[in-house]
Structure 1
């Protein structure tokens, strides 16, 4: 198999003191605890996708270019958060000495699932950039224009991006099938994976609905979006996915700890995204600041701002979804902060990180995995991108 080239030894554990600090705390923790995991995931993806792109190129020259675009979306620089949580979910059961190659294809498949979600999400949000680059639909539209094709380039770009996302979802299934685990266990893994996908779609639908039904939205519904759109498929389900790869039985203290920890960290992860979407530095986040205010997306942050606002502030907040200029967006962002909503969200994040750490206390998790998950709970929720 293409993945045989990946080293058979597990990623090294490196003490945090041996790694230099960067501007990205998630990368610092990943470097501290899984120095080689991200590289192993990227190499697995690259080897698998090289074969897939070659096969599609044989259909038609244009298909080759399309497949290369999908490959580039999947291999774009990223934190590989989902494979990392799945990895530690697995390590927490099997320990640090179990060889990685047998499960590496399944871990890497989560990154293809993530690419599917990102590409479709960018279409639904009409986003211009992702990770500092043009989104898939914008890039496809630009190629349409430069090639002199007929028809609407924006419509073409959206159609191509939908297909790119679909292809990545199929690729995820195909790559997962390369995992060298017993068939019965792989079936349990697939059940967890399928539940993750269903919940992701549910959360995404609620996210879309919220933008068109803001009058009937609330903090509770915004948290529900965070729970299903982000918490489930970013932290909670990947952890359980990793435990399933290890053959962990359901309804055990370890599964209960992973479930509780994953929900808390996953919600905090989305709450940090809410703040970054308004106050983040575009040079770091790779996306323009204030997009959520421009669209009026009913995030927890915006819902809290409306709840805490004075009558005058609430009237001003009604401009969310209609502002366009950078100055207007900045003033609205200041208004949201003045209501106390941003500070409240920061407290909510801190409360969830504490909840996650409590969930790990006393749980039957291998020691290194416990240390890594403790660090990731903080790093994933204090990031700047």
Structure 2
């Protein structure tokens, strides 16, 4: 690992560790009368249980890429100690929690981040009342979404800054929902083209995982992001596609222990991912028949997945996808390099080296 990338990863690790402590403290404050207590009904156990499950899902971790990008975006224009960064980080991670909870409902996923999904936690609690379990999981996801706005609007930041940041978050949330919609729509197409897959990536993940943190970090630091939005979008788009191709690669070729969830979920759900598109393009008739039978079959067993994995490797699909992810990572790196003369060099270097990390991670 080169020295610059090592330094970038060390900075990312510091942001992540600091955030975990701050995020836990935030959830403590929601039940602390002396803090930013969330008013809940005096009667009934369901609201507090929902908050517990939102907390549990949120604190289980994950890459925290959004937190890292947000802090480094502020560092482009300001020294340490920027007010509002903690609130912005909590906000974007709560929006992510909302997305995870609802994704797991849509995908009927039992496991997330090494533990039960929120949906399946409720299914275990209400085994004979599936409609109640579904309703409560939906509401828990909604609670996370509204908390994500609340944390910005009650942050104590100057009103204009808090409103600008909340507007970014609300716009991002709405865009992410439309991305989820076309994510469902792509599976109605036998083989969506790359433009369609890129659109799903942009709206379902890139806008809230990369672009929103860049905008929020600059806003927190007192900088208007709008003059730079075109180049921020170019960076976000390239990094987002690199990330998604790598995520799809991990879903077939990754290590379940490192991922914290089973591999093969895209095939079992019939998702028309970058992997499935690449596989379909090279399979012969017999291989395509196997792939068609497995795709969309929740009961697809590990032996069948192993056969598909061997077919993919025999055709070089694993190498092809890694090369494509690397290409988009290099595009993002090249875009960040154009920022050197305008913004603080140390933060710019971080954005130059982050794409390389994003396509080598194991989860």
Answer yes or no: same fold by TM over 0.5.
yes
SS state at 1:287 partner:
coil
Higher deviation after alignment, 368-377 or 35-44: 35-44
Change (3 A) 1:158 1:269: same
Tell me, yes or no, if the aligned pair for 1:136 and 1:157 is still in contact at 8 Å.
no
- Answer whether contact 2:332 2:355 (CA < 8 A) is retained: yes
Is the counterpart of residue 162 in structure 1 residue 138 in structure 2? Answer: yes
Out of 335, 344, 347, the residue aligned to residue 359 of structure 1 is: 335
Counterpart position of 1:128: 110
Deviation of 1:127 after TM superposition, in Å, equals 0.8
- 1:250 CA displacement: 4.5
The corresponding residue for 1:10 is none
**2:163 maps to what in 1?**
187
Matches within 5 A, 1:100-179: 100-145=82-127, 151-152=128-129, 154-179=130-155
Distance across 2 between alignment mates of 1:30 and 1:73: 27
Partners of 2:250 and 2:263 within 8 A in 1: yes
CA displacement at 1:138 relative to structure 2 = 0.9
Contact 2:191–2:277 (CA under 8 A) maintained in structure 1: no
The equivalences for 1:325-344 within 5 A come to: 325-344=301-320
In 1: Cα distance, 2:171 partner to 2:45 partner: 36
Instruction: Specify the alignment match of 2:186 in structure 1.
Output: 210
Structure-2 residue corresponding to 1:6: none
Look up the SS of the partner of 1:93 in the other structure: coil
Corresponding residue pairs, total: 352
Question: 2:275 aligns to what?
Answer: 301
For residues 268 and 13 of structure 2, what CA distance do their matches in structure 1 show? 39
Indicate if the aligned counterparts of 2:75 and 2:347 stay in contact, CA closer than 8 A: yes
> Does the 8 A contact of 1:192 with 1:237 survive in 2?
yes
Deviations 1:256-283 (A, max 9, x none): 4322211111111111110111111111
Q: Cα distance 1:259–1:37, how it changes in 2: closer, same or farther (>3 A)?
A: same
Q: 1:195 to 1:234 in 2, by over 3 A?
A: same
Q: Distance in 2 between matches of 1:124 and 1:155?
A: 14
Alignment of 1:241-320 (within 5 A): 241-252=216-227, 254-319=228-293, 320=295
Residue 69 of structure 1 pairs with residue 47 of structure 2: no
- Kept in 2, the 8 Å contact 1:268–1:352? The answer is yes
Residue 34 (structure 2) pairs with residue 60 (structure 1): no
Runs of 4+ in 1 over 4 A off after TM superposition: 28-31
Partner of residue 4, structure 1 = none
Give distance in 1, aligned partners of 2:94 and 2:333: 29
CA 1:157–1:280: 2 relative to 1, 3 Å: farther
Single out whichever of 294-303 and 337-346 deviates more from structure 2: 337-346
Offset of 1:30 from its aligned partner?
Answer: 6.7
Counterpart mapping for 1:81-96 below 5 A:
81-94=65-78
1:298 and 1:165 mapped to 2: Cα distance?
25
Partner residue of 1:225? 200
Measured after TM superposition, the shift of residue 370 of structure 1 is 1.2
Length-normalised TM-score, structure 2: 0.88
Deviation at 1:292, TM superposition (A): 1.0
CA contact (8 A) 2:337 2:352 kept: no
| SS of residue in 2 equivalent to 1:384 | coil
The equivalent of 1:37 in structure 2 is 15
Cα-Cα RMSD: 2.4
